[in-house]
Amino acid sequence: MRFALLLARARRPLRRFLRDKSARIRGTVPNVAVKAGYREMIPDFETLLAEERDSERQLDLRQAISLLQGQTFERDGWQVRKLANGNIEYSPS
């Protein structure tokens, strides 16, 4: 129970940073969520994806959602997937 409370507290600032004025801060949130395995943030990313107009940012959000769902995708000729330890693996397609 205590661990779940700590995780919930860690995600709270991430959600707040999704609406930050700085694009750099907003862009960091999906990376942190993927590394930490915060699957609970998928609905937040899906909401942002529906509102986002920048195609590069849309791609980043789609890929973060895919990684959090355990899916593999291709980017620039590389297969990208999240490993069990949280690292991201890139292998040639």
Could you give the residue ranges of the DSSP H alpha helices within 18-82?
23-36, 42-51, 55-68
- Provide the pLDDT for residue 2: 55
Q: What is the mean pLDDT of residues 10-22?
A: 82
pLDDT band at 9; cut points 50, 70, 90: low
- Provide the pLDDT for residue 73: 93
Q: How many domains does the chain have?
A: 1
- Mean pLDDT value across the chain: 87
- The domain containing residue 79 runs over which residues? 2-92
From edge to edge, which strands make up the β-sheet containing 78-82? 73-75, 78-82, 88-92
Q: What is the mean pLDDT of residues 68-90?
A: 92
